[in-house]
Amino acid sequence: MDCPDDSTFAAYLEGALTGTAVAGFEAHLDGCDACREALAALARVAVPPGPDEPESAAPRLRARGSTCGRYLVLDVRGAGGMGVVHTAYDPELDRKVALKLVRPQAFGGAAHLRERLTREARVLARISHPNVVPIYDVGEADGEVFIAMELVPGPTLARWQTEQPRPWRAIVDMYLQAARGLAHAHAAGVVHRDFKPGNALVGPDGRVRVVDFGLAVAGEAGPVEPPGRAASASLTATGALVGTPAYMAPEQWRGAAVDARSDQYSFCAALWEALAGAPYRLPDTTWRGPPAPEPAPAAGGGRAFPRWLRQVLLRGLADEPAARFPTMAALIDACERGLHRRRGTLLAGLGAVLAVVLAIFWTRGDPAPPQLCRDDPSRLAGVWDGEAARALRQGFHASNLPFAATVAATTVAALDAWAGRWHGERRAACEATRVYGHQTEAELARRTACLDERRAALRERVRLLQTGERDVVEAAVAIAHDLPEPAACRDPTALAPAGEGDDDDARRGRAEVDRAAALVQAGRFAAAEAGAEAAGATARVRGWPGLAAAAQRVVGEARQGLADAARAEEAWYQSLWAAEAARDDRAATRAWIGVAALLADDLARPDEARRAVAHARAAAARAGDDPLLGAELELAAALADRSSGDFHGANARLREAVAALTRHAEPADPRLLTALRQYGRSFFDLGQHEAAVVEYRRALALAEQHLGTDHPAVADLANNLGTTLLDLRDVAGAEAELRRALAIDLRVHGPLHLSTAAAFANLANFELVRGDFARAEQAYRATLQIYTRQPQPHPDAAKVAYNFSMLLINSQRAAEALTQLQWALQVQRETLGDDHPDTGAYLTGIGIAYTELGRPAEAVAPLEQAVALFERRPRDARYLAAARNELARALWDGGGDKARARSLAEQAAATFRETTESERMLREVETWLAAHPLPPRG
């Protein structure tokens, strides 16, 4: 008899076991020291019932059709000494749940139990992972406490591993899923404390979910509670012992501190038992590395498994926690390295005869996968193969772009890597059903269909790339890296919902959306919007929310590229609502990220952007671990922080994003380049220009390596670097970088491109700071000519006009400055609206121009509007301080309220004292205050 679980112990103590169950339990105790010790511990701490409590209160079975809170009971799934699990229906969310009712009498009454369970539910709310069963609700009904959780209609891992013979690889694969769930919990600060095969469920999709985190402890590790009634009041445990004897770590028995390494021991003990056919017995001596005599598998119940795996498990089973792996993630890595290690490396340096003998020994009990699951290169024939790569290179060469060869090499490498991942996922999908048997044929068909969709996306991208058109070549690396990942097909939520997968119109719609996404990368925003809109319209008519979500996301991206922020916002929300309707948490996360970035960067609504980030985090938690998606989320959060003036927060977010992308993304991934550029910008915002230079140079090195020294992305980074060097008073270095950027843009884009306009504008700013007003004016006018030739107004044109107006004011040409500022205000209102914070800057400039013209009374109105706008829409506090300072001067000189003028100037001075790099402005305000005292009263 295997070691009984905690509910059996409790039932024995309460006298609830009868007949053969008692005999079997006591026979097991005769031969098991660990269980005798556990029983003695339980007996010592047994607490008699209170005077008002019955001697025994067995779990109450609910009749089918009865209610428990808002839940409708359907049937009984199981019962233990402390609770009953029902299948129930949640009418509010239209789903079935597993509903566990816990007997309050065993835990000091319902009030105590409800308080403990509510606390533990908050702990579990921090654990959202595909391999952890989520808790939905905790409540009380008819004197009983209930817990509602995800219903997983599958066997426990304990039953799955014994219901038919399983290869050792299949068992390890399933256990590693559970390990990933535990690792995620550990990262959230939660220790399970009772992992065992019976606490993991295998769903119909082959996905393992860890359950019964009721013994979990959040925060710092500490000693185990005595296993009395309060300690055993847990979400899903049904007995009084904290842990199950057969799998408990030695420190749990000793009452010492328990941490994530205790779960590691339990995991290794469970996997050892599953593979060896018998429980692991800890040696008498402390484990100090792989022991010389390894325990052999049980004769008859076990299976052969490799020596490296035994050593991994034995390390995890070390008596001392410090001798185990440092984390569950490290144990997972060790297993995955062993699983993926080529067998040939084990035979290196040996003779051919010995190699054959060892190969035969190694594969005993581990038959090779059948030929039907082998890699088949022909599956991508004509889509991505040698001929396709040659055609791509030829197209790039024909573009005559100076960076074409470098970009071609980077793009081919990215597509080769993607194709390798696709083949691997195709093979893994086949093996999951045909070899290991933990996936149904229906699930295999859906995964294969998903991979076929990925192949179709690859075909569309390759066809576009092979055209060799200049904008496509420029964006080629981004187009390649934007391909949907094959690994996502493992996730059921990534598969097309029922009705959307096997329809020709749906397939055509997804192909059109993918093509539109590639066009967005290439900067063909109008064509991308039209294509995605058509696919989205079909999806809405046919009731396909998954396709609608993808289409509207691309529409939002295209409209942002067209500087149509208002209509982009509507598209992003349409994508979000469709994703929610499709119950696609990953798509919802991406939509919320898009909303947050738009609100922060284009619409300057930081409070709403931060709320959108919070929504994105919630959706990402439901979707499960995805470090690359998490990095994108941090990028959006950084934009929200920067938009609200929290430059330190933005810097911290970007540091996390850069670290995640450095670990998990390929060096050529454009997301890493974007993160590094933004990270440099965050140091610039903090006034830490030397640190900004370091990050810009780091980004430049990556861009030059993977894109070429003449790529427009290099020009963008050179612009950033040049501007930063100028602030460091490195005039020569700044000029070299800014002129390099302009030369690249002129060579690649020509004189009328928006990128060229930005380069001209940066060079104009440089000349202004250097004091060469004539050259600065020439560059500003060249920039504005480019913007006025565009088919639609662009918000950046207003910024250029504002900078030009400052030059004109400093040149004593205030009337011309006023004309430029009024035009800038008009452009701003047409593109971003009256309520955008940048509008306040232009209103401030108009007020300055009126003051310089000797018309301070006319300056008051626009300055009052600017102050009100900055107070209503806070951004960088220095903008508000500058507007208050100018309004103070206009009021004083225009015959207004002098007391209010002084107050406004004092508020401005206080802000400048608190912000970096405001010494000059502070001196000006303090000088003005000293020269403008209020007249004495009376």
120 plus 166 within the same structural domain: no
Distance CA 472, CA 479 (A): 8
Helices and strands of the chain, counted as H and E runs: 39, 12
The type of residue at 36 is R
**830: CB partners within 8 A, 6+ apart:** 793
Residue 566, token pair as written in the block: 């208002």
402 plus 254 within the same structural domain: no
Residue 774, token pair as written in the block: 């004539």
Does residue 440 lie in a domain region?
A: yes
Q: Is the dihedral of CA 795, 798, 799, 801 positive or negative?
A: positive
794 plus 913 within the same structural domain: yes
Residue ending a domain, choose from 116, 131, 151: 151
Distance CA 79, CA 86 (A): 9
CB 299 within 8 A of CB 335: no
- Specify the pLDDT at position 916: 67
Distance CA 257, CA 268 (A): 19
Distance CA 247, CA 301 (A): 19
Q: What is the pLDDT of residues 279-336, one digit of tens each?
A: 886 554 333 333 334 444 443 456 678 888 998 999 999 988 988 998 998 899 889 8
What DSSP designation does 198 have?
G
**Consecutive H or E run containing 631:** helix 627-643
- Specify the pLDDT at position 347: 35
Q: Is the pTM of this model over 0.95?
A: no
Q: How many residues does the chain have?
A: 938
Does residue 239 lie in a domain region?
A: no
Does residue 334 lie in a domain region?
A: yes
37 plus 120 within the same structural domain: no
CB 464 within 8 A of CB 479: yes
**Beta strand pairing status for 200-202 and 208-210?**
antiparallel
22 plus 115 within the same structural domain: no
Nearest 10 degrees: Cα torsion 666, 671, 675, 677: 100
- Specify the pLDDT at position 351: 38
Three-state helix/strand/coil letters over 411-468: HHHHHHHHHHHHHHHHHHHHHHHHCCCCCCHHHHHHHHHHHHHHHHHHHHHHHHHHCC
537 plus 452 within the same structural domain: no
- Specify the pLDDT at position 122: 59
Nearest to 495 by CA among 438, 445, 423, 562: 445
User: Any catalytic annotation for residue 194?
Assistant: yes
Q: What phi and psi, each to the nearest 5 degrees, are found at residue 667?
A: -55, -30
Q: Which residues pair with 146 in a beta bridge?
A: 101, 139
Does residue 183 lie in a domain region?
A: yes
Nearest to 641 by CA among 671, 617, 607: 607
Number of Cβ within a 10 Å radius of residue 333: 12
CB 632 within 8 A of CB 595: no
**Consecutive H or E run containing 258:** strand 257-258
882 plus 757 within the same structural domain: yes
- Specify the pLDDT at position 836: 87
157-184 residues labelled b (16+ CB within 10 A) or e (exposed): bbebbeeeebbbbbbbbbbbbbbbbbbb
Q: Specify the number of domains making up the chain.
A: 6
142 plus 198 within the same structural domain: no
Residue 575, token pair as written in the block: 């994508």
Nearest 10 degrees: Cα torsion 838, 843, 845, 847: -160
Q: What is the CATH number of the domain that holds 875?
A: 1.25.40.10
Residues of the chain falling short of pLDDT 50 = 41-59, 81, 106, 108, 215-242, 284-300, 342-371
Does residue 655 lie in a domain region?
A: no
Q: What is the pLDDT of residues 524-534, one digit of tens each?
A: 999 999 999 99
CB 755 within 8 A of CB 743: no
Residue 335, token pair as written in the block: 């297993």
CB 232 within 8 A of CB 164: no
Out of 5, 173, 194, 602, the active site residue is 194
Q: What phi and psi, each to the nearest 5 degrees, are found at residue 364?
A: -65, 130
- Specify the pLDDT at position 130: 82
391 plus 529 within the same structural domain: no
Distance CA 467, CA 425 (A): 29
**Interior angle at CA 755, CA 750 and CA 759, nearest 5:** 95
Distance CA 147, CA 143 (A): 13
- Specify the pLDDT at position 47: 37
Q: Which residues pair with 99 in a beta bridge?
A: 86, 148
Q: Which residues form the domain of 319?
A: 158-216+245-282+305-340
CB 65 within 8 A of CB 53: no
Q: What is the pLDDT of residues 902-917, one digit of tens each?
A: 999 999 999 999 876 6
792 plus 820 within the same structural domain: yes
Does residue 723 lie in a domain region?
A: no
Distance CA 8, CA 5 (A): 6
- Specify the pLDDT at position 493: 55
Distance CA 450, CA 493 (A): 11
32 plus 66 within the same structural domain: no
